[in-house]
Amino acid sequence: MAKKKKRKAPPAVAPVEPPAVIAATVGWMLTVLTTICCTVVALGVRGLAREGAAENVQLFARFMHFSAVVTSLVSLALLAVVLKIRSQPPPRSIMAVALIAAAVPLVALFW
């Protein structure tokens, strides 16, 4: 009598998203990363250059903060788009980090 071979279960396949959805998600994540980088550089330059530092250094810190504010607003808009068009929302932990990263430059703008 021949032995029956056990079949392995097929691997779970994630749902395939259209390219536009993937592009929006990647764009959102890039704006979040850019916001974090601009915020860190702005805080670092501002921390190193106290009052009385060269005007160019202070101007660079302000420019990086402005860039962080703009990219944080873009990342919030793209988050709304990603939540609308994706079949599955991004993980909560990633959304939490993205919201915190977007909030920091906006709070610092009014502080």
**Phi/psi of residue 86, each to 5°?**
-80, 145
Residue 10 CA to residue 54 CA, distance in Å, equals 64
Asked whether residue 7 is domain-assigned, the answer is no
pLDDT on residue 105: 97
Asked whether residue 35 is domain-assigned, the answer is yes
Domain that holds residue 106: 19-110
Number of domains in the chain: 1
Asked whether residue 2 is domain-assigned, the answer is no
State in Å, rounded, how far the first CA of the chain is from the last one: 81
pLDDT along the chain (111 residues), means of 10: 75 82 97 98 88 84 97 98 95 97 95 84
Residue 34 CA to residue 26 CA, distance in Å, equals 12
Two tokens, residue 108: 């610092």
